[in-house]
Amino acid sequence: MYPLLAELSAHDLEVAETLIGVIRFLLIFLAARALAEVLVRLSLPTIVGELLAGVVIGASGFHLLIPPSAGTELNEGLVNVISSLASIPPEAVPDVYFESFPSLQAVATLGLYALLFLTGLESELEELVAVGAQAFTVAMAGVILPFAFGTLGLMFIFQVDLIPAVFAGASMTATSIGITASVFGELGYLKTREGQIVIGAAVLDDILGIVILAVVVALAAGGTLEIAPIVKLVAAAVVFVIAAIALSRTAAPGFDWLLDRLKAPGAVVVASFVILVLCCFVATAIGLEAALGAFAAGLILSSSKNNHAIQQSVLPLVSLFATIFFVLVGAGMDLSVINPLDPTSRSALVVAGFLLVVAIIGKIAAGWVFSSDKPTNRLVVGLGMMPRGEVGLIFLGLGTSAKLLTPSLEAAILLMVIGTTFLAPVLLRIVLKDKPPNDGNKISDDVAADPVGLL
């Protein structure tokens, strides 16, 4: 795939990869921290700064951090710097750069898993179960509304063919639990009733998104759509979630017993990481997303007496690696495809505007479909479900690689993902601006003591 690499010696290749790795990390952290500092002073979540940092140094900006899927060229100045420092031909630099990029994506994925693991740790199981019915209702509405209106609108208003329309509608169903969890955690609303409803609904969205993705892939491949595999997938997801809830009560004491007998430094973080890896493995083995396994791992250990120590050991990993994840999300967004000055982009902008409106309204409307006898800020719930983030990009990447989408529809889906990803943190901060965290919306002790009664 990268023929020029064969012409480099092992030493030159190692030097070039090391330099590229160091430069990448410097660019990511300097850009992310600089913009995060600006956003903090504007009373906005730092995650917005991290996403913007990716846009600035990525495919839409200086082309200093380019994922292979972006299909654009590296910054010429960066190529020349690496070429001179590593003593390799300039034309070989892009090959080395893109060949080594998966290692950076692996680190970013570790950051996502660490963030979801931390989210599970911070989720009080009783409270999450207490809002289970509301979370299920929100998740179902948040999937059905944007999928139905998006698909039908594309078919009947814009005359898009069935398969591309279904795929575009499916891309609007997901909720990025990583971005949502980060925003709620940063604003101090993760343990409120709204936060728990959104987290629970986002987990269910992940499950439903997997099912929809399986159906769409089967349709796109032209194969027969069999019900049995879909039922099997849903059953596996249900069993997995129920098992995680059950293990949080039975496995946590055993985990604590083990930690009490480990004396070597770092026992807490290593043992926790083993649980995280095992849960990700099990989730993947039964056909689910590893991200769901990471959240389940945190949920299992949420009742551990060492919960605080585990959180403190995981926080540095989140601070470092989750930053890389969010910067990469921003770096993969190519805003040039929605340039209003380019005549070829105008049709994409019209479709994109439609998808963005449906994507926003569909999720916000989901915040009003559940019943609750407790005071709940339904707008916060709807806004929390809005960001598509990396999940939307996964859908987009699959559609692009399968050649299911026209360039204009591909650009429209990208704009929908970008718009919801950036708008959600900003709008949540505006809505919650004058409200202190946990201002009475936290689930009360009597509800937590009897969560089943609310279901």
Q: How confident is the model at residue 454 (pLDDT cuts 50, 70, 90)?
A: very low
- 286 & 303 share domain: yes
- Tokens 């190519």 correspond to 334
Least confident among 27-36, 53-62, 195-204, 313-322:
195-204
Tell me what the pLDDT averaged over the chain comes to: 82
- Quick check: 358 pLDDT over 90? yes
- Quick check: 321 pLDDT over 60? yes
Range of the domain at 63: 3-99
Q: Which of 99, 122, 137 finishes a domain?
A: 99
- 116 & 95 share domain: no
- 27 & 120 share domain: no
Q: For 144-175, what is each residue's pLDDT tens digit?
A: 999 999 999 999 999 988 888 888 888 888 88
Q: Which of 99, 128, 152 finishes a domain?
A: 99
- 214 & 275 share domain: yes
- Tally the domains of the chain: 2
Tell me, what CATH number does 136's domain have?
1.20.1530.20
- 95 & 116 share domain: no
- 22 & 87 share domain: yes
- 249 & 108 share domain: yes
- Quick check: 443 pLDDT over 60? no
Q: Which of 82, 99, 116 finishes a domain?
A: 99
Q: How confident is the model at residue 225 (pLDDT cuts 50, 70, 90)?
A: low
- 107 & 65 share domain: no
- 389 & 324 share domain: yes
Most confident segment among 213-217, 322-326, 336-340, 371-375? 322-326
